[in-house]
Copies of this chain bind each other. A is one copy, B any other.
Amino acid sequence: MKRLWIENGIFVTMDDNRPVLKGHMVVEGDTILYLSEEAPDPLPEGAERINGQGLVFMPGLVNTHGHAAMSLLRGYSDDQSLQVWLEQKMWPMEAKFTDDDARWGTSLAVAEMLKSGTTSFVDMYDRMHIVAEVVEQSGIRGVLTRGVIGLCPPDVQTSKLNEAKQFVRDWNGQAEGRITAMLSPHAPYTCPPDYIARIVEAAHELDVPLHTHMSESAAEVAQNVKDYGCRPVEHLDKLGFFTRPSLLAHAVHLNDEEIALLAERGAAVSHNPVSNLKLASGIARVPDLLKAGITVSLGTDSAASNNNLDLFDEVRLSALIHKGISGDPTAIPAWEALKMATTYGAKAIWQEKRLGMLKEGMKADFIALNVEQPHFYPQTDMVSHLVYSGSGRDVLHVWIDGKQVVKNGECLLLDEARIRHEAQQCFERLLSS
């Protein structure tokens, strides 16, 4: 089995027992075999040796909410109200999407994510078999789900749900296990209650988790109360949503009772601070969520509302914004913010036993950042530097399942020049058609 021996690196492990260590890591196949300050003894025979000097190694980041193909709409509509953005800009363009657009938009997003250190991503969209193919090709890890909007006749609802279920059957566990699948009602305000109940039932049948947008804006919470007589958390709870492992995107507008109920039900949250600010949705109560014991992970949302997929941006903003809002400079310390993108991210996608930490026995999903740059000096607290000074652009190398997928900042399994070219062509065609 292929072996990799990293010598003399700094390892930010995300393991509370030894957060940072300077030393050696050995990978065998897709697994971390050894991690220690001491050189391995005996030295691993026939291993590819990597000089870790000047590099910081850490677990690959986990992006727990997004819509990759929408990268095609990056910068197409900014600084607009949510309604104009969505109804006048996004939806009409998305309605014109073809398989080609899905392929190149997703490829563009995956290239951006890999190069900036994201090794696992959640994707909710349609044409998911195309997303799965891009995952297969690129070497990234994907938690994929066909998001369904239920504002349509019953037969269309059924056909969408069948498509979502078929995707799970076809792709769950594929790409050497790098693909896992979920089911997703798009949101409580875009799916009638009985449709949500049917999706929950299907998730039981297929034994997969659930993902949805929830309480992103104050307006949708008010609408939920008006339509169903309760707020979204209670509404979803009544529909049995939380009887499945579940991941909630946004969760900006929650009251204390909702937070307590989510904690009790064990639901995880994907905090999307940049998107929530950009669309003026508000700021999630992350310190309260964490205090309640809820798993809070980080997501970029799509490049159409962010407008980038660099998860380091979300980490930094998470560490900064909750201090400023609460008036407490100790809120969300650097270590906690970095956990949201790694160990908590892994937990939010139910893979904390194999992802999110550099530790013997874990999957070899890890990244290396070039810290021989002024913004990482003096080399004092590397965790602080990664959070407050680091960027996806500092990532030089990326390995997933022990296999290198980014080397010196370039994707090894994707043709980046072609992706840029095709994405540009797709956008221009969408614009003019």
Contacts and interface: CB of A to CB of B under 8 A. Distances in A.
Interface of A: 71-72, 74-76, 78-82, 85, 108-109, 111-112, 115-116, 274, 276-283, 303, 306-310, 313, 316-317, 319-321, 323-324, 326-331, 333-334, 372-375, 377-381, 384-385, 388-389, 391, 393-394, 416, 419-420, 423-424, 426-428
B379 A323 contact: no
B388 A330 contact: no
A328 B79 CA distance: 9
Given A377-B423, A380-B427, A79 B306 contact: no
B78 A381 contact: yes
B323 A81 contact: no
Contacts of A372: 420
B327 A380 contact: no
B375 A310 contact: yes
Given A79-B319, A278-B323, A379-B424, 16 more contacts: A75-B380, A75-B384, A76-B381, A78-B333, A79-B323, A81-B329, A111-B374, A112-B374, A115-B374, A283-B324, A307-B389, A313-B316, A377-B423, A378-B428, A380-B427, A391-B393
Nearest to A322: B277
Contacts of A274: 320
Given A329-B79, A378-B74, A423-B377, A280 B324 contact: yes
Contact of A388 (B85, B283, B308, B385): B308
Most chain B CB within a 10 A radius of its CB, from A75, A115, A331, A419:
A75
A173 to B, nearest CB: 28
27 contacts: A71-B377, A74-B378, A75-B380, A75-B384, A78-B334, A79-B333, A81-B329, A81-B330, A111-B374, A112-B373, A115-B374, A278-B323, A280-B328, A280-B329, A283-B324, A303-B389, A308-B388, A308-B389, A309-B375, A313-B316, A317-B320, A374-B419, A377-B423, A377-B424, A378-B424, A378-B426, A378-B427
Given A374-B115, A377-B424, A327 B78 contact: no
Nearest to A108: B374
Contacts of A419: 374
Nearest to A282: B324
A43 to B, nearest CB: 30
B278 A327 contact: no
A54 to B, nearest CB: 10
Nearest to A82: B329
Contacts of A328: 280
Contacts of A428: 378
Contacts of A380: 74-76, 427
Nearest to A217: B327
Contacts of A374: 71, 108-109, 111-112, 115, 416, 419-420
A171 to B, nearest CB: 24
B320 A277 contact: yes
Given A108-B377, A377-B74, A384-B78, A280 B321 contact: no
Contacts of A333: 78-79
Given A75-B385, A375-B309, A80 B329 contact: yes
Contacts of A416: 374
Nearest to A371: B420
Contact of A279 (B111, B277, B279, B329): B329
Given A112-B375, A375-B112, A378-B424, A79 B278 contact: no
A426 B379 CA distance: 11
Nearest to A333: B79
Q: Which of A71, A280, A385, A420 has the most CB of B within 10 A?
A: A280
B388 A391 contact: no
CB-CB nearest 6 A-B residue pairs: A277-B324, A393-B393, A378-B427, A112-B374, A307-B388, A280-B329
Of A326, A329, A373, A426, most buried by chain B (CB within 10 Å of CB) is A329
A392 to B, nearest CB: 8
Nearest to A78: B384
Nearest to A428: B378
